[in-house]
Structure formats: C-alpha cells, structure tokens
Amino acid sequence: MPDQNVKELTTDDAPIKARGLEGVIALESELSSIDGQEGKLIYRGYDINDLAEGASFEEVVYLLSNGELPTRDQLDDLRQQLRSERTLPTPVMEFLRNIPDDAHPMAVLQTVVSALGLYDDEANAMDEASNRRKAVRILAQIPAIIAAFDRLRKGLEPIPPLEDGSMAHNFLYMLNGEEPGEAAERTFDVCLVLHADHGLNASTFTNRVIGSTMSDMYSAIPGAVGALKGPLHGGANREVMRMLLEIDEQGADPAKYVREKLAAGERVMGFGHRVYRTMDPRAAILRDMVQELSEKEGAMKWYEYSMAILETMRDEKGIDPNVDFFSASTYYQLGIDPDLFTPIFALSRTAGWTAHLFEQWADNRLIRPRAEYVGKRDRTFVPIDQR
C-alpha cells in the first residue's frame, strides 16, 4: 500500500512525488527495521532491547555486516582485526596537529576520514575482500581521529591506542588518558550498540547514494558524516546538551523554557522523528541509563530537566523524544564534551554505513530520483551585452 503522503505526479512522466522522500521505499534492506507505530527497532531480526542488554558493539558490527551473530572465534577474530588497525597513519596524525583548535569536530572527522583514503593502498579497490578490510580499518581509526583531535585542541598529546580492550574501552582511554571503569565502558558500549543502524535515515541514504555510483568507501563515509552533522539529524544531540546547559545556567524552569521556545516557533531538539509516532525505543533505553548514572553519581539535575522537558513536549505538542534526547545527558555524564556527541554517533553509525555499502554493492542500481521542474520555460536567450 503506498503511503498516503505519496501523491501521483501527472507531469514529466515521474510516477510519484513525495516531499523529503517521505514514505518512499527506495530500496530493499535486510539490515534494520523500524516499526514507527509500535516503537520497535530490529537489527537483522534481533530486537534492539535484547542487543542493548546482551551484545557488545563489536558483536553488532559483525551482525550488521555478516547477517548473523558471531561465534566466540569469529568475534575474537574481528576484535583482533579492529585492534590491529587502530593506529592512524603518521601523515594523518601530522595533519591533525595542524587543524585549527576551533574547527567543527564533524568537519574534522569528515576531512580526516577522507584523508585516510590517501594513505590506503586499497582505497580504490572495489573487490569484496578489500572493501571488508577497509570497513574494519575506517571503523577502527575513527575513535583515534576523534580522541586525537580533542586532545590536541586542549593542548594535550594524543594517546596511542591500547593493544587490547574493546572499542569502547580504548576510545575512552584515548580520550581521557585513563582507563575507564567497567560501568562507564558498559554505558558507552550500549550507546554504540544503539546508534549502529537505523533504516534508511538521511546519512545512510547519502552513503548508499554515493556507493550506488560505484564510488569508494572513502568517498561514501565522509559524505555520510556530512549528512549526519546537520542539526535535524545527528547534530541534534549536541543541541540538546546546549539547551540543558542553558537551562542550568539561567536557572530556568525547564517546562517554561520549552513553552517559550515553542511559542517562538522554534523546534526543541531531540524530539520528533520522521518514522516514529511513539517513543523511540533507543530513547527509552537511554532514559533508564541516564537515571541510573545520575543516581549513582548523586547528581539528578540533567535527568530531572530532561524529564520535565519530555512531559512538556508531550503535553504541548504530543511529540516524543528520539535517540538524541537522552544520549546527550548520558555522554555528558561520562565527561564527554558536547561537540563530540555527534562524532561519537558517527563512530557507531559507521558500522551501519559500511554494512549498507556491502548490501548496496551486492545488488547495485544507481540511485537517481527525479525533481519536478517548477521553473520558467520557453525564455528567449539575450546575449550578455544586451542584458
């Protein structure tokens, strides 16, 4: 059944027209599926709640790209491959040292992932084995890019990666210079699991569009990073924290603050979704994690502000939170700077992006929609010296 938002287009031979491609099925995927009415999300058939509870991020990486959960040996093998690729090429590290401290971290990530391709002999190889190695390499190196940039801009030396430990453990170590506690590592790992894939969202679509031209992974992933940067997509988590900090600084009443924002016609970041018509299941998992973290630390204010905003948005607009809403206070309570929240989203989503590229290339067709031309026609050309 076509979505009711999809209207018949009678001109220009195009079969359908949908603003923002809403409701359009652009391709088939076996990777993840969202039930927007029920608030359910599955990766490869597994419920996100079960994965968040029982799987590590590396297991999810394997699941997404191979279709099955790994055996212990398969997981050890993937972990070993990821560890062996953690170190950035020397010229890339030198490049990072010359980046302005006030650069947007997503712009840095986009540029540096692209630069990684310049030092990869397999950058343009399109056979499956090379692409699988590149997927591991890019995923393994993104944490090093984010951590090195953050330390350099703070006047600190980048920390070389550990030779063991999970991606979550190693990232927090490279960022903070000390090994994380078990609880922080587990919380961060769950965040990575929750962000790994999410249907044909804007950045995944961007990634598949680039892949569909048979361009390479070092072109598709930076393109996806660029799409994720926007505040209507992954950039929302940073904006959520900005709002919570502003409420705190002003000593504002969160409910009043949100009502004023809505009255001014502004959007409240971290709310609303193109597909969900109820609470995003990832937001529910993160809400419980924030509550637990806050209780453990005896600092409830971020949780309390968040819940007050949530109630107000439900009362005023009937809109529920999305994944970005509670991930903001989760990362903040792990001591992570707000402008790194979106790069961390990208870190995790790289698992989905690369898996989507394999799926795209396994049965490729160029993604090339149409625009309805609504401009002028039949104009008479006037030479430049007569205009």
**Residues designated catalytic:** 233, 273, 324
Which CB atom, from 133 or from 317, has the smaller least distance to ligand COA?
317
Cα–Cα distance, 183 to 203 (Å, whole number)? 30
Closest CA to 62 of 87, 40, 85, 80: 80
Q: Residue 210 carries which DSSP code?
A: H
Which two structure tokens, joined as six digits, stand for 226?
């660029």
Which CB atom, from 188 or from 271, has the smaller least distance to ligand COA?
271
Per CB under 6 A, contacts with ligand COA among 227-266 are 232-233, 236
- Backbone φ, ψ for residue 42 (5° rounding): -125, 145
Looking at 270, 281, 343, 352, which residue binds ligand COA (CB under 6 A)? 270
Which two structure tokens, joined as six digits, stand for 239?
């904006």
Which CB atom, from 184 or from 268, has the smaller least distance to ligand COA?
268
Looking at 171, 271, 341, 353, which residue binds ligand COA (CB under 6 A)? 271
Name the residue with tokens 């990232």.
171
Q: Counting contacts by CB under 6 A, is residue 274 touching ligand COA?
A: yes
Cα–Cα distance, 140 to 8 (Å, whole number)? 45
8 A C-beta contact, residue 353 and residue 224: yes
Per CB under 6 A, contacts with ligand COA among 304-323 are 317, 319, 322-323
**β-bridge pairing 40-43 and 16-17:** unpaired
Which CB atom, from 40 or from 274, has the smaller least distance to ligand COA?
274
The site map against ligand COA for 11-30 (x = CB under 6 A) is ---------x----------
Which CB atom, from 171 or from 325, has the smaller least distance to ligand COA?
325
**Closest separation between CB of residue 326 and ligand COA, Å?**
12
**Closest separation between CB of residue 269 and ligand COA, Å?**
5
Number of chain residues interacting with ligand COA (CB under 6 A): 17
- Angstrom CA distances, 323 to 191, 262, 287, 374, stand at 10, 20, 9, 36
Looking at 268, 293, 328, 355, which residue binds ligand COA (CB under 6 A)? 268
Q: What is the largest CA-CA distance in the chain?
A: 75
Per CB under 6 A, contacts with ligand COA among 321-350 are 322-324
Contacts of 36 (CB under 8 A, 6+ apart): 273, 275, 276, 277, 278
> Which single residue brings its beta carbon nearest to ligand COA?
272
Q: Which residues bind ligand COA (CB under 6 A)?
A: 20, 232-233, 236, 267-274, 317, 319, 322-324
